[in-house]
Amino acid sequence: MTGPEFRTLALSFAGTTAAPHFDRTAFKLHRTFATLAGDGGSANVLLTPDEQEHYAGLRPRVFCRVPNKWGDQGWTTVTLTEADAGLLHTVLESAWRAAHRPRRSRPRRKP
């Protein structure tokens, strides 16, 4: 898969918009569910931690956990040159559906 193919696939989900996000392009519905690197070689997708573990175990050359607190939340890097469109469609659909879910509210900090 190429960067332009990923972009087309991400935008194929209803209501999805694309916007600049630092050196990446963010794809969002109510919230961001995927980002595409500026060089088009990789993307990050938001999965549940269980999905992240599943896909990284299934295809470790394609999927790996983002190595920081974002990764703890399910953000997963996809190496696009190793990815096939069918599997990536399934993964992006899951991320897109997650963007429909309301965020968990955080307790407010006291000043």
Among 57-61, 87-91, 100-104, name the one with the lowest average pLDDT.
Answer: 100-104
Q: What is the pLDDT of residue 109?
A: 53
Q: What is the pLDDT of residue 83?
A: 96
Q: Full-prediction pTM beyond 0.85?
A: yes
* pLDDT over 80 (residue 107): no
Give the model confidence (pLDDT) of 29-85 as tens digits.
Answer: 989 999 999 999 999 999 999 999 999 999 999 999 999 999 999 999 999 999 999
Which residues have a Cβ under 8 Å from the Cβ of 4 and sit 6 or more positions away? 40
